[in-house]
Amino acid sequence: MQHISTRGQTAAMDFQDAVMTGLAPDGGLLVPSAIPDVRDRLGAWAELDYKSLAFEILRLFTDLPDGDLRDLIARSYSTFRHSEIAPVLSAGPVHICELFHGPTLAFKDIALQFLCNLYEYILRRTGGRLNILGATSGDTGSAAIHGARGRERVNIFIMFPKGRVSPLQELQMTTVTDANVHCLAIEGTFDDGQRIMKSIFSDVTFKERHALGSINSVNWARVLAQTVYYFFSAFTVMRRTAAREVCFAVPTGNFGDILAGWYAAQMGLPVRRLILATNENDILARFFNTGVYRTGRTVPTISPSMDIQIASNFERYLFHLLGNDPARIRELMAGFAKTGALSVPLKNGGVDPLFRAGVGNTENALAIIRRYHRSHSCLLDPHTAVGVHVAEQFLEEDAPTICLATAHPAKFPDAIRTALNRDVARHAILDELKSRPARSVTLPASEAAIREYIGKHVS
């Protein structure tokens, strides 16, 4: 499988080169040159456990020997605390797919445990080194750090917006004091960090000199690994309900999680709807309802991982939506860089019939947390609550809805306490963090400051 850039000015490359490249040199995102049709395999795949299913899906896109791929998958998910990796529970009108049983209690572990093992595998074969640069709105940073900590040939630099991630999310990053881990608290927003990261990666000379790689979902391997839980949870629910199609409700800010579902649907998974849920930072919901993608002011909320205005994975979807036309993407993204806006024509009243989109604000999320805890004995984190709120607006009788639970509620105790007036969101792993020493560096949200820091600390 070859991988091409959405902007069409980078030579096609194989999977391992795409992983090491991250952001394409022309500023675009790498995507597979073709999407395999797996409809004739669904029946056989439906009975597989998570690791076996991951192998069958990932081998279609990778160039790794089968034995090596199986070993990478086994090691990546040996750290998870649930035998099913992504178990599915029923809660009233929806099914909840729990994606938070990994080392940092967030869905990002599913992709980042695999990606960091993959990086180490490639570096051992090539004898190279890698300096990972990432930006996080919360969970990506801690999952990446826990995946990369202590690894040979790897340093990791994670930017996070100072004071704009939850205290526990920050502790999950800053209490990892391995010598190869650098936590950078930038005085700005997540969008500032993402802008800095993309600009640095677009400087090919600097990127190559410092052997920079990406763990953000601009890296195709991240999105690919996430497609697996769409298949796994759909098979689980269809077995239980005898349904022939499912819907997915996905809380999203950076568009990577729901994009994985889009790829799964294109491969032939019977998905009737992808229900996109945003909080008050609703740029993506507005796009799917109006065709206009326009940035605004970032609003801090109780679901901070979604407090994003510029979704880094959106360009991949836009590329496919517009017929895989790189010239059109270059034109649109250049205009967006200048004006902060772009638009696409609506068809039959919407952008894409596969998508429905809505907003769950702070009041909505708190109400969902209260109601699901009281009526269904189900404790939801605020991001998942946003997804459930929007899901309830689009329920279909003959296509059950699976809501992706993206984080353990104990990561957001203040929001849970506000909703329930009780301190019920606890986890031993997080409680133990509070006694550990923490380490981070505060820097201005400027590209020059980040470049200087990297230059001084790479090896």
Q: Is 200 a member of any domain? A: no
Q: Is 52 a member of any domain? A: no
Predicted model pTM: 0.92
Based on the residue annotation, tell me whether 347 is a catalytic residue of this protein: no
Q: Is 35 a member of any domain? A: no
pLDDT (0 to 100) of residue 310: 86
Q: How far is CA 82 from CA 50, 256, 362, 375, 458, in A?
A: 11, 24, 30, 25, 36
Domain count, the chain: 1
Q: What is the mean pLDDT of each run of 10 residues along the chain (459 residues)?
A: 96 95 92 97 97 98 96 96 97 97 94 93 92 86 90 92 89 94 94 91 90 85 97 98 98 94 98 98 96 92 89 94 97 95 89 97 98 97 98 97 97 95 92 91 96 90
pLDDT (0 to 100) of residue 140: 84
Q: Is 408 a member of any domain? A: yes
pLDDT (0 to 100) of residue 459: 61
- Whose tokens are 């990666």? That residue is 201
Q: Is 385 a member of any domain? A: yes
Q: Is 94 a member of any domain? A: yes
Classify strands 30-32 and 3-5 as parallel, antiparallel or unpaired.
antiparallel
CA angle (177 as vertex; 173, 182 as ends), nearest 5: 65
Q: Is 72 a member of any domain? A: no
Active-site entry in 108, 198, 207, 411: 108
d(CA 170, CA 184): 11
Q: Is 166 a member of any domain? A: no
Query: Could you tell me the CATH number of the domain that includes residue 372?
Result: 3.40.50.1100
| Owning domain of residue 292 | 88-105+221-427
